[in-house]
Amino acid sequence: MLFESLFVIPLLVCAVIAYASTPFVIRLAWKWGFIDDPRKNRHPKVIHTKPTPRAGGLAIFIALVAGSLIFLPFDRHLLAILLGATVLTIMGLLDDKYNLNPYLRLIVQFAAASIPIMAGIGIAFITNPINGGIIDLSHPQIVFELLGKARSIWVLSDLFALFWIVILMNFLNWGAKGVDGQLPGVAVIAAITIALLSYRFSADITEWPVIILAAVTAGSFLGFLPWSAYPQKIMPSFSGSNLAGYFLALLSILTTTKVGVLAIVLAVPLIDSGYTVIRRVLSGKSPVWGDRGHLHHRLLDLGLGKREVMIFYWLVTAVLGILALTLNSAFKLYTILGVALVLAGFILWLTHKPKQ
């Protein structure tokens, strides 16, 4: 009964909210011109062939906020999380309409990610993947007085959390949002994995809000998925990928700092995006400007359809999620290294294989 109340019910409620609100968002997108028309947007990364509504992140945001307010206690942490999500959604909608400069988007991402960190959400320690020990990030600290109270900034902890959130937002945007249904399916699997991990420690009631927030996240993307799956009727767009990266990063921080678990679950988009950044830098290009060099592009060029690419990402993410729940710290490191080597080799083969 505990699992149903902490996970199943919030997931189902949020799925219903997201599913019901998405048609309304689709109508708004057409009315307000939040449309991606491949005849006008001739960027190399564009693979859809007909005008498609953007702004899918708005439907996901509605479900996330509603579910959080319904099922979670309202405190400064939740307020900060939702404020950051609001900033990301507004910025995402503006990008859907006006195609904002990537560097401006990056600045806003850092600003949004800093809101929950300023509220006290951070990474005090991480597990050493080599020997299973603890790496303490709580020092150095900068202590100061503000509004009559002593405050402190945990320099390493806050910086680690800040960059982890921003990196995950961008890497999911680049490596997990390429084809219809890819992003929401990956986000659902990752959030469920974190929920199952947190449920292992449900004897500690401080884990309950994490389980609920993971269920809210999974349900919000699950309800959106039928509208985004092939053939998509609306895109999750930049706001959708930002919300996925933002909430998943925060969940990995909140659930006893299991950053390594999420890194395994999302290994394919993370490694693909990391490889893409290196490739762009080495070729003298900016790492934030998109191109047609991601794994999903290469799979399409190999002859797979959008539905097959979507299912490929779901299956790999699910398998890695199962592994992440069963491996210890040392094996998690070996798993990430193994996936990185296999994926890098596969990408290089796809890149340099002779054309038929």
Closest CA to 119 of 231, 301, 250: 250
- pLDDT tens track for 232-282: 999 999 999 999 999 999 999 988 657 888 988 999 999 888 888 888 888
**Contact (CB, 8 A) for 212 and 10:** yes
Domain that holds residue 31: 2-352
Q: Say if residue 118 is exposed, middle or buried (CB neighbours under 10 Å; 0-12, 13-18, 19+).
A: middle
C-alpha distances (whole Å) from 339 to each of 91, 126, 236 are 33, 21, 27
CB 332 within 8 A of CB 261: yes
Identify the pLDDT of residue 356. Answer: 55
At 1-31, the pLDDT tens digits run 788 899 999 999 999 999 999 999 999 999 9
Q: How far apart are alpha carbons 209 and 222 in whole angstroms?
A: 19
Between 137 and 197, where is the model more confident? Answer: 197
Question: Domain total for the chain?
Answer: 1
Residue with tokens 């309304």: 24
Angle at 157 between CA 83 and CA 120, to 5 degrees: 35
205-214, 329-338, 347-356: least confidently modelled range = 347-356
* Residue range 116-136: mean pLDDT, rounded: 77
Written as six digits, the tokens of 264 are 């395994």
